[in-house]
Every structure is written in C-alpha cells, then in structure tokens.
Structure 1
C-alpha cells in the first residue's frame, strides 16, 4: 500500500484545504460526525463543526464524558442561529415507538440553510495567517442535512460529501422495497423484512423526500460501516447506484469504525468501569437502549424482573430518552420495583448517568449487550467482539437486529419485530439472557462476534484505507 502524506499540525497555517462538518441534531448523528471530525483533524486539516448552539453544546458535553475519546480541542465550533422549537418530554405510553417528541428539533434543522450558506461562503474565501487562501472547502454533511447544505453548489471551490450514519443492510432492504426488486438474501424470509411504514412515522417520509431532492449535489458518499460487517451490501448498493446514476461517477467510501479500537493509557476511570473490575471475564451483560428509547413503567418492571430472575451479572443504564433540547429540563427518574437494587446488590448495577459505552463494551468482564440495535451501538459492540441480545424499537433498528441475528449470527433475539406492540415479559427477557450468557448457542454466537471483532480491528490496523482514500481524493 502506498504511503499517504497528510499535513502536519505544525504547518496548519499553510494548509489550503478546509473541512466543514454539518451533523443532524440527534445524539448518534452528532457523535459520529464529531468522531469523524477528530480523525480528520488528527491528520492536520482545519475542521469546522456547525450546528445549533444547543447541539454543539450537547455534542461537546457527551464527547468529553466518553472516557475513550479525545477532547474537542483543535475543532472550531460554529453555533448557528435556530428558531426556538418545542422540547416536550418523551411519551412512554405512546403506541408508536418512534421518538415523536424529537420531531420539533428535527424540523427546526431545516432553518439552518441560510446560516450554513453564509458560513460556506465565508470559509471558501478565507485567508489564513500565511495569506494562503482556501483552495478547496470540503463539506461533509449528514445525509439528512442535504437540504441545508444545498448552497454548496453555488460555491466554485467547494465540494460536498454526504455521510450516512445507518447500516447499508437497512438501506439495501428499503431500496428493494421501493424498487420492487426481489430481496436476494437467503438467510432472511422476505416476509420478515421490516418496512418503512412500520419503522417510522408518516411525517418522516416528507422529510426524507426533501433531503433526497438535493442528494445529487453530493460529490460522493461516506458510510459509517466497514467491509468486514457489510461488504456484500456495500457492493449491492454500489451496483444499484451505478446502474441508476446518470454519470456513473459517484464515489463511495466505508470509513468506520470512527472510534478508537484500543484503549489509551490516559483513559479516565468511571464508576461503572470500577464496578466491572470486580467481576470475572465475560460474565456481565450490559443493558442499554440508547438516547431515543423510553419505556413504560410496566416494561421497566418486567425488564428488572427478567434480569433478576436470570441470575446473571448485569450493568443496566436506565435513563429517560433525550429531549430535543437536553438542557431544557431534568430527565425523569425512572422508578424500579421496590427493593430491586438491594436484592441484586453485588450481582447487578443500575446507573442513571451518561455511561462510557465504549469503555464498558471493551471491558473484559462484559460478555453480552442487550441493545436497541442503533447502528452506532452495533458497530461498537461488534468491534469489541461482544454479542448482542436484540430488542429493536424504531427506525433502522429492526433491520440492524436482523443483520445481527439472522445474517451475521452474532446475536440472539429478545423479541422479533412482529412482537413490537406487545409487553415483553420477564420470562422472555430471562430466556434471552440465559441463551446469550449461559448456553452453547450463546458460546457459538460469542465466538463469531469475537472473530468479527478481530477482523474489524485489523481493518483499522491496516491503515484505515477507505478513510485515507477519501481524504486523498477530497484534498487532491
């Protein structure tokens, strides 16, 4: 492999390529774009990160709380003006699992076109301390912000690249659904494939349509995935894109994982990691459902009882779902069954704080992850070689769960998507935990997850080829 040369930090003043990052205002999207910002900044390029004041603050706060990530020094944050939006609490008893309470913040993002356009023009014509003018402005935007960055087309020295935070498998399933083409994956019955209308709420379709109108302005596509996990679907989608494209020149790069795959000596300690230190290898199941999931009191009780009855060690992150503005009000303290924490003391731990998920999944005591199957959580779990107990809630999560259980075979189901409207009982939860943590099936699943984790880490050790290939192309 040829050596790729990037600018040194000591010569940043001479650098004539500038990067502008434009994330979508949801936690996993903010986080992934910020992680990518770090990787680009570490190669010596100036990096600007533009979001509303609320979401810049959120991204920085939670990034600093992650014990395995770098701080945000060196990245220039731009707090864009956004009209006020409603920030209602989550609805645990809603019949729809999609986080409808976040919709006002998502819709408000459409108002960022004008300030982003002004920033584009400013950065594209800026002059640094050595009087070097920006030769190229590289705009990396969430694919759900294509409308917002559309003015990049009017900036002569700018190029935009869309960044997709979801799985290629999900995208391929939905592509087959829309096109009416057969689904060529023998491991999954086509009848089991979730559909757009039962994963999202109707208003989302119009939002997607708005973004798709400007998708053609992107000079290339970045995907938060890697070939060891989704190689076949990257190839299938590339074939579809090439067949449908007018000029057949769309560039695509799979650049994950974007987080450190090995621990750093400077990593901070955290109470959850200190608790894990007291337990045997691969003996603890980590339970967390991300930043957009909220459960009813009845479901929390069933989950608590299932964990207790399984007799397995567990670490449970029990938090309410994010609001659109996480600083607007204190999160609700979700109640547990009376006496639960006392009964499981020493065997189980419940934390209500923001937890360092990467550090937890990397810890040798963790042997399983009960997850909503958000794509970021799937990537982190697989990279660390940790198998999953899948419990999808909405959006791309049902597709991701199928990929984990039916295709990669690195997980077991807590529930199938067809059972999404039912209360998941303590007995079903107990059974899934025992399958993953204390059965021959679980051992086989764990072995496959560990093998896949080694392949993912090797892809990073080999030089992050696709990320470097993208940077070489974008800065040509």
Structure 2
C-alpha cells in the first residue's frame, strides 16, 4: 500500500473515493473530486485505485487543476486531491497491468471483480490510515461500504450512469410488477441472443445484487445526471430504493483539460475534418472498453461504405486477445478506407480528441455505443446521435436519447446482431431527411439548455456531504 497524503487542516472534511476499476469510472470520479474541492475549501479527497489506473491520471489530469487565489488561506484544489494505491492479489491470469477494464477481454471482467473484492484487507488498512469522514464508492463494491460502516464512517454510492437504470432496480425490488415507463423498456432486441463469454446471466444477477446492496448501504445516492433530462426517473428511482437521489449535473470536463495521444496525429485529424463540408461527417466510436467482434466490425464497415458519407472511425483492440485477431480487424478497417478513398474515410486506432470532434462545425452525427460519458458529451455538443448499444446500461441510454428526440437507434436483432444495410439507412436518415433535421434541432436545443442551466448541483451536493458528516460527528 502506498499513500501520498498532504498535511490537512483540522477543519477539513476528508473524503475517500473508490471507483470501479475502469478508466471511464475513474475519470468521472476524478471530475467529481475536482468540482467538490473547488466548491468547498474544507473538502479534501483521497482518490483510491490501482497503480495502473492512477498512473494514467497522475501526470496529465491533476496538473491541470486551477490554482487557488492569493486570498485563499487553505491549500489550492489540486493539493487537496491525493492519490492512494490499492493493490489487488496478483495471478498469472490477471497481472498488475490488467488491474483495469481497459484492454481487458470481457470474459476476464468477473475475474477482475473477484480480485477487487479480495483486496478488502488492503482497503481496511487504507481506511485505518486515512481515517476519512466519508466514503464515496462505486455501486459494484458494497464490501467497501460494509468496511466503512464497521468504523462508523458514512458512505455514499456514486453512480456515473443514467438514472434510467431504475429499470433494473424495478425488476429487482418489484418483480412481476409492470414497469411504469414503457419508453425505456428493454425487449429481446436489446439483449444479446448468443450464449458465450460476453453474456453470463448469473454474473449479471450477481452484479445486480451487489448494486442493490450498495444502494441499501448508502446514506444517499449520487448520480451523474440532471433533472432537465431525467426528472421523472430520478423521482421514481428515489421512491423505489427509499433513498434521496442527488444529481451532479452533466459533469463534463473542460474541453481544454482533456489531453492524450500524439499532437501531430490530432492536428492531422482536425485538419482532415476542417476540409469536409458542414454537417457531412459521421464520427464513429465505441469507447475504450468495448471490443467489437469481427462480424460487428465487418457490418459496421459495410454500412459506412454503403452510406456514401464521410466518416472518422475510432476503434480500440484488446491487447490480451481472447476474442478476436487485432491484425485482421485493423486490416478490415483500413481496407474499408482504401475502398472509399482517404477523402471519405479516416481510421484511428489510437487516441482521438473526441470532445473537439463532437463540437466541430462539420460533424453531422455521432455513431456511438451509448456509454453514458459519450452520451453526455454528445448532448453537451448538440450533435445528433446514432445509437448502437452493445452491453450493460447502453440500451437504456439509447432509449432515453430517443425519448428526448436527440438520437436514432440503429435496428438490431439482439445486441451486436445488426446489418450494414441498416447502418447505412440510419446514417442517411439522420443526415439527409426531415426527421434527421428534427433530431438535429432537438439536439441543439438541449445543448442550449445545458449551457444555460443554473449550475447548482455541485453546491447542493457539497452542502449535503457537509451536513451528513456533521450529523454523524454530532452523534
């Protein structure tokens, strides 16, 4: 265990954060840490994760926090975020560089989850060393809240996903009762039909039980959402679990604070985009943690070619290749560009400046897997979205986008079972039809609402944290 702790004023409120071992979860937890320390001078954050995840944020993100003003008598925000390493049991199957979901084949995710749960002794030592006033933890690890409770430390679960996951909560808490929101009801077309390592119903049930326990152990629930898009779901979810649900707002990092990749490649990418026509380009990205199968990529490539439009296609590949051949996939992608020509297609197999691409005037649509971070970034950019959900909460995110009128869902017959023809037809619909224009207007209108909304979510959350800790200390 390695802990870097600055000396803290006795009046500070110490928060220990423990996100799930995903870079996307770590990123939105880190953004919450920044906002809380900027909002409340007394709040300090101990950010706990595995060394491989902390390595990715140590030099880039923390150095870009704003400094305190000269009038402040307390340490600046960046000195009040401290990184704390938690070490998982090592195994031949799961060496330290795989103590993250990034580049991890999906069949090893349950193994990672078990290893994380086996680190409870290490986390107990962290709790005893840091002695936080509050634990903010991810819903996948209720064991952390139990360890905190043994020490009379209050806990709050932070869900970085849509509140529409209350659909799953409804099925857990009210089995057999009709779900009151048919707009986001999941059908067989929103589930994977094949049986294999991607789908393990028992694993899913175990995850749901852990999440439900996390809700029950939490003093209140923090969610990365806002009432302008999910008011009815926030209220329903709160009533369902019997806990107050406190939204954070969109919680999107400043566009200039996000860096990565090769600067020359980024400049070349943006120059290519500059030379295209207004609203003519489709940006295709499935995030950093979903690895498409050969069949999925083949149909996607076919659809992009058939559509006749310009595209930027970003893809990542598992380095521990348990499901597909990276060389074959890259050959497929580059073959697609060779057929359509470099004027129409651009393939990226490394980091891409997604935020900058999404706000570019020449971008016409965002073809996304509907990871919640990507959806929120698309909302803030005001870009129409084409949804092709693949797993977990993504089908509900896609349905929420359709309900809000800011996206269209590409037809699937079970997750991952789609055709290039349907991809092409959906692209043409969103870029070249009246219904697509309505989606664009709705997306732009929502972006204006987000820009103009009163940003009182973080002040409200910070006050609730201070109130909770004060009440616990008062006995």
TM over 0.5: yes
- The superposition leaves residues 444-470 of structure 1 with CA deviations (integer Å, 9 ceiling, x where unpaired) of 011111112222233354574543443
Which residue in the other structure is 2:3 paired with? none
- CA shift, 1:42, in A, is 2.5
Alignment of 1:91-130 (within 5 A): 99-124=106-131
- CA shift, 1:331, in A, is 9.5
Which residue in the other structure is 1:50 paired with? 48
- CA shift, 1:431, in A, is 0.7
Match of 1:49, SS state, is: strand
Match of 2:342, SS state, is: coil
Q: Does 1:255 align with 2:235?
A: no
- CA shift, 1:223, in A, is 0.6
Q: Does 1:408 align with 2:404?
A: yes
Unpaired runs of 5+ residues, structure 2, are: 1-6, 68-76, 99-104, 471-475
- The superposition leaves residues 207-230 of structure 1 with CA deviations (integer Å, 9 ceiling, x where unpaired) of 442454454332211011111111
Output the CA distance in 1 between the equivalents of 2:390 and 2:279: 26
Q: Is the 8 A contact 2:148 2:155 kept in 1?
A: yes
2:162 to 155, 162, 167: 167
Which residue in the other structure is 1:380 paired with? 377
Unpaired runs of 5+ residues, structure 1, are: 1-10, 91-97, 125-135, 243-249, 325-329
TM-score by length of 2: 0.79
Match of 1:286, SS state, is: strand
Alignment of 1:222-241 (within 5 A): 222-241=222-241
- CA shift, 1:144, in A, is 0.9
1:290 to 279, 284, 287: 287
- CA shift, 1:432, in A, is 0.9
Name the count of aligned residue pairs: 431
- The superposition leaves residues 395-426 of structure 1 with CA deviations (integer Å, 9 ceiling, x where unpaired) of 11112112212x2121112124x43353x322
- The superposition leaves residues 363-415 of structure 1 with CA deviations (integer Å, 9 ceiling, x where unpaired) of 3332311111111211111122122111111111112112212x212111212
The structure that is helix-richer by fraction is 2
Alignment of 1:148-159 (within 5 A): 148-156=144-152, 158-159=153-154
Which residue in the other structure is 1:183 paired with? 179
Output the CA distance in 2 between the equivalents of 1:323 and 1:13: 45
- CA shift, 1:472, in A, is 4.5
Match of 1:353, SS state, is: coil
Which residue in the other structure is 2:303 paired with? 306
Q: Is the 8 A contact 2:170 2:179 kept in 1?
A: no
Which residue in the other structure is 1:433 paired with? 427
Match of 2:453, SS state, is: helix
- CA shift, 1:279, in A, is 3.1
Match of 1:143, SS state, is: coil
- CA shift, 1:143, in A, is 1.0
- The superposition leaves residues 108-147 of structure 1 with CA deviations (integer Å, 9 ceiling, x where unpaired) of 11022222222112222xxxxxxxxxxx612111111221
